[in-house]
Structure 1
Amino acid sequence: MPIRSFQTGEGVTWQVWNVMPGLHDVHERRVGYDRRSPEPVIRYTGPERRANTDRRKPPLFLSPHLATGWLTFECPTEKRRLTPIPQHWEQLPEAELERLCGQASPVRPLPPVPRPSP
């Protein structure tokens, strides 16, 4: 994944990179080797407390226009997304990257994840 930086005429520095969903197998499962000790110090003998025994993250479902990937533009104050990814964006001049950044859609920030208190 190439990452580029450019500066706008207003002096804002942006970083841009491409995101290609689905390049790794989201259903990857590691089988065979069990790193846990066969005789743990404390063995739990009660009932299973997990609701779901498969603790892998569920596959990410994207809207169709994002399925082929996007360019992410990020500066210290905002993030934007552009679809589809322009061909040869890695070689574009900075002025063209600035123009594409202007066309990109703002991305709403995710709400902060609450941290458990110690």
Structure 2
Amino acid sequence: MPIRSFCTEEGVTWQVWNVMPGHRENTERRIGYDRRNPEPVIRYTGPERRVNPDRRTPAPLLSPHLALGWLTFECPTEKRRLAPIPQHWEQFSEAELARLCSTALPVAPIQPFIPMRDP
């Protein structure tokens, strides 16, 4: 994942990088038998009752226009997102990156979870 830095005409320094959503390779650890038990798991041979073929795969949380990835632009006070990723954006000049940044959509900051205290 390449990261570029550029400065706008207003003097704001931005960083930009691409984000490619998807499955990470080799993340599934529940394959095969139960490692806590020396005996292999008895395989169910009845009819399939699950609705989804793989219940471990969650439904996608991304909107369709983000499915192929996006560019993230970030400065100390703001974050923006641009989709789809332009081809060869890594070779763009600073002026071209600044133009893309100006068309990118602002992203709402994520608020940290603060648990309520009992009075």
* Same fold by TM-score greater than 0.5: yes
What is the Cα deviation at residue 113 of structure 1?
Answer: 2.1
Letter in 1 for 2:111: P
- TM-score, structure 2 length as denominator? 0.69
Aligned match of 1:48: none
Q: In structure 2, how many angstroms separate the alpha carbons of the residues matched to 1:76 and 1:59?
A: 33
Matched-pair identity in %: 68
Matched residue pairs, number?
97
**Which residue pairs with 2:100 in the alignment?**
100
CA gap 1:23/1:29 in 2 versus in 1, 3 angstroms: closer
- Structure 1 spans left out of the alignment, 5+ residues: 37-55
- Counterpart of 1:71 in structure 2 is 71
Report what 1:28 is aligned to: 27
Consecutive unaligned residues in structure 2, runs of 5 or more: 37-55
Which residue is 2:9 aligned to? 9
> Once the two structures are superposed, what CA deviation does each residue of 1:26-76 show, in whole Å capped at 9, x if it has no partner?
x93214695x8xxxxxxxxxxxxxxxxxxx895651000000100000000
Cα deviation 1:79-114 (Å, max 9, x = unaligned): 000011000000000000000000000000111122
Q: Give the corresponding residue for 1:114.
A: 114
Shift in alpha-carbon separation, 1:113–1:57, aligned structure 2, 3 A: farther
- TM-score under structure 1 length normalisation: 0.70
Residue 42 of structure 1 aligns with which residue? none
Find the aligned partners of 1:57 and 1:113 in 2 and give their Cα distance. Answer: 26
What SS is found at the alignment partner of 1:15? strand
